[in-house]
Structure 1
C-alpha cells in the first residue's frame, strides 16, 4: 500500500503492518474525542514515526496513487478530524 504523509512524501507499506498502526490510530481517535491535546500530539508523532520506520520511501519524483493519506506532523486536532475515515480513524480497518 502507498501511504502519503502530507508535506513529506510517500512510502510503500506492507499490509501486515496495519494491525500495529491501527493501535496507534485507536489511541489518536480516543485522544481526539476526549480533547487531550498533548496526548493527541504525542500519538500523532508516534504514528507518523512508525509509518516512516516501517515504510520504504518512494523516490521524490514518483507519483503513485496514495491509498492512504496521513496528516502532517504539525496538524491540529481540527485538521485531523476532517481527514477521518467513515469508521472514525485515519487508518481503515
Structure 2
C-alpha cells in the first residue's frame, strides 16, 4: 500500500482564501512628485459613500471602485496624514 505523505497538521491549519482582499487589492506605497503616498484600492462592494475626486472635481458615486490615497511623509505626523486622505478615480490617480 502506498504511503500518504500528506501532512494532517497542514489540513488543520488551512485558512480559506479571503476573496474580498483579493478583489480589492493591497495597500501599497507610491512615490509621486518626490512625495511618498499610501494607496488603498476600494472595491465597488466597499464603496459606501459619495466622494469628490481631487483630480477631476467630479463625484465618485457610491458603488464605484476607486482609490484612497494619503501622504505618509507629512510633517504633522501619521494621524494628520490619514485624516487628510482623499478618494480618487483610478484613472485620475494614474494621471496625477
Q: Same fold (TM over 0.5)?
A: no
Normalised TM-score (structure 2):
0.24
Greater relative contact order (Cα < 8 A, sep 6+): 1
Higher strand share: 2
Normalised TM-score (structure 1):
0.24
Higher helix share: 1
